[in-house]
Structure 1
Amino acid sequence: MNNHEIDFKLYGDDMQFVEVELDPNETVVAEAGALMMMEDGIVMETIFGDGSKSGGAGIMGKLMGAGKRIITGESLFMTTFTNQGTGKRHVSFASPYPGKIIPMDLSMLGGKIICQKDAFLAAAKGVSIGVEFQRKLGTGFFGGEGFIMQKLEGDGMAFVHAGGTLHRKNLQKGEVLRVDTGCLVAMTPDVDYNIEMVSGVKTALFGGEGLFFATLRGPGSVWIQSMPFSRLASRVFAAAPQNPAGKSQGEGSIAGGLFDLLGGK
């Protein structure tokens, strides 16, 4: 294997974290802010780019790796965790919002996975986190996840997180699956991905599902999430009390409402 070979264990159900077991001198790479805890003997270091050698050696290779991350909206830097002790050590990473962590063995998935740009959590050292440009302009303009998606390449383990409940569906050749654009988490590169407009004016305007959906055509595997973060955030925002700036209702909404009813300011 070209990538570091790491062992792992998942904990939890809807608020999961992944514990990675590192042998001496093994390294795992993670997004900034993903760390939950680590044992003594593990050294943390911030690196420029994704730490892989896919961009070539030297400063130009590092700049290319970092440039890929800028295009996908991620930070220039990533964090590596290396076991510099004499025995096995453990480091854990947590999802940024409720959902599932998907362990993906890239060696069993053709060496490449395409995922939405904010889905990557961590991976074995050597996995390349790059850019996948969608070929069709309709996908870019209306795909929900943008024209650019991430691609994870290598032969090691990678961990991707999704919101809500996760479902993997294996599509046969020619089989078509239509999903909400935000619900697509990842897919194998042989899946044909396109965007279609919802038919019917009334359905598009009043159906509550948006104007476009993703059309996935097999063969290949796709991973679907039941609760995209954008949907969760919009519901929370819609339910949040809209108070004028500087106005406080205290801890209880009932008391605050009574305060307003009595003419309080």
Structure 2
Amino acid sequence: MNNHEIDYKLYGDDMQFVEVELDPQETVVAEAGALMMMEDGIEMETIFGDGSGSSGGGIMGKLMGAGKRILTGESLFMTTFTNTGSGKKHVSFASPYPGKIIPMDLSEHDGKIICQKDAFLAAAKGVSVGIEFQRKIGTGFFGGEGFIMQKLEGDGMTFIHAGGTIVEKKLLPGETLRVDTGCLVAMTRDVDYNIEMVKGVKTALFGGEGLFFATLRGPGTVWIQSLPFSRLASRVFAAAPQTPGGKSVGEGSVTGGLFDLLGGKN
């Protein structure tokens, strides 16, 4: 194996974190800001590039790897955590919002997983975090993730995060699954990903589900999330105070809200 072999343990249910156990000189790579805690004897270092640890291409290769991360909306830097001590040490990484952490052994998925742009949390050193361009114009414009998704390549453990409850679906050859574009978390390399427009004018305009959904065709495995962060954020924003007095327009009684709109005090 090219990747460092790491052991791990998941804690929690809806607000999870993963504890990684490192043998001496083992390294784990994590997204900037993912650290929760670490034991004495672990050395932290900020790096450029894709986290694979490859020196191919020298400084230009590292700059290209960092540039690819910018295209996916991630930080320019990644952080490595190396056990420089003599015994086993532990470092923990927390999920950024309510949901689940999905551990994946890339060697069990032909060495590659394609996932949404902000899904990556941490991985064994040697896993490459790159970009995957959507070749189809319709998928790029209306797929909810744009033209660019993340690809995780290697043969080691990686951890991705998504919102709500996660379901894993194995698709047979030719089997099709239609999902909301924001609910797709990850898929294996052989899954055919496309976008379809919702049929029917009334359904498209008044169904409340958007104009497009993702069509996933097997063979392969897909991971679906029940609560995309964008959906959670829009509900939080809608409930946030919208008036100078600190109350949302819809807060309280109907008459109180109307009174607020007319400039009175409730």
Tell me the TM-score normalised to structure 1 length: 0.93
CA RMSD in angstroms comes to: 2.0
Give the aligned partner of residue 137 of structure 1.
Answer: 137
How far 1:243 sits from its partner (Å)? Answer: 1.3
Q: Secondary structure at the match of 1:63?
A: helix
Give the aligned partner of residue 108 of structure 1.
Answer: 108
Paired AA for residue 238 in structure 1: A
Paired AA for residue 149 in structure 2: M
Give the aligned partner of residue 163 of structure 2.
Answer: 163
Q: 2:50 and 2:214 mapped to 1: Cα distance?
A: 29
1:33-84 deviation digits (Å, cap 9, x = unpaired): 1001100101111111223255724111111211110111111100111110
1:128-181 deviation digits (Å, cap 9, x = unpaired): 000101111100000001110000000000000010000000000000000000
Give the aligned partner of residue 84 of structure 1.
Answer: 84
Q: 2:94 and 2:10 mapped to 1: Cα distance?
A: 10
Give the aligned partner of residue 223 of structure 1.
Answer: 223
Paired AA for residue 180 in structure 1: D
Paired AA for residue 226 in structure 1: S
How far 1:241 sits from its partner (Å)? Answer: 2.5
Relative to structure 1, the CA distance from residue 262 to residue 200 in structure 2 (aligned partners, 3 Å threshold; closer, same or farther) is: closer
- The unaligned stretches of length 5 or more in structure 2 are none
Paired AA for residue 22 in structure 1: L
Give the aligned partner of residue 195 of structure 2.
Answer: 195
Give the aligned partner of residue 232 of structure 2.
Answer: 232
Q: 2:138 and 2:263 mapped to 1: Cα distance?
A: 54
Aligned length: 259
1:240-264 deviation digits (Å, cap 9, x = unpaired): 22112xx346xxx76xx69969944
Q: 1:185 and 1:67 mapped to 2: Cα distance?
A: 23
Paired AA for residue 88 in structure 1: K
- The unaligned stretches of length 5 or more in structure 1 are none
Q: 2:179 and 2:2 mapped to 1: Cα distance?
A: 35
Written as runs of structure 1 = structure 2, the 5 A alignment for 1:11-160 is 11-53=11-53, 56-160=56-160
Q: Secondary structure at the match of 1:62?
A: helix
Q: Is contact 1:127–1:152 with CA below 8 Å preserved after alignment?
A: yes
Q: Secondary structure at the match of 1:64?
A: helix
How far 1:110 sits from its partner (Å)? Answer: 0.4
Paired AA for residue 11 in structure 1: Y
Q: Is contact 1:29–1:50 with CA below 8 Å preserved after alignment?
A: no
Paired AA for residue 59 in structure 1: I
Q: 1:171 and 1:126 mapped to 2: Cα distance?
A: 29
Percent identity over the alignment?
85
Q: Secondary structure at the match of 2:203?
A: helix
Relative to structure 1, the CA distance from residue 55 to residue 134 in structure 2 (aligned partners, 3 Å threshold; closer, same or farther) is: farther
Paired AA for residue 108 in structure 1: E
Paired AA for residue 144 in structure 1: G
Give the aligned partner of residue 6 of structure 2.
Answer: 6
Paired AA for residue 44 in structure 2: M
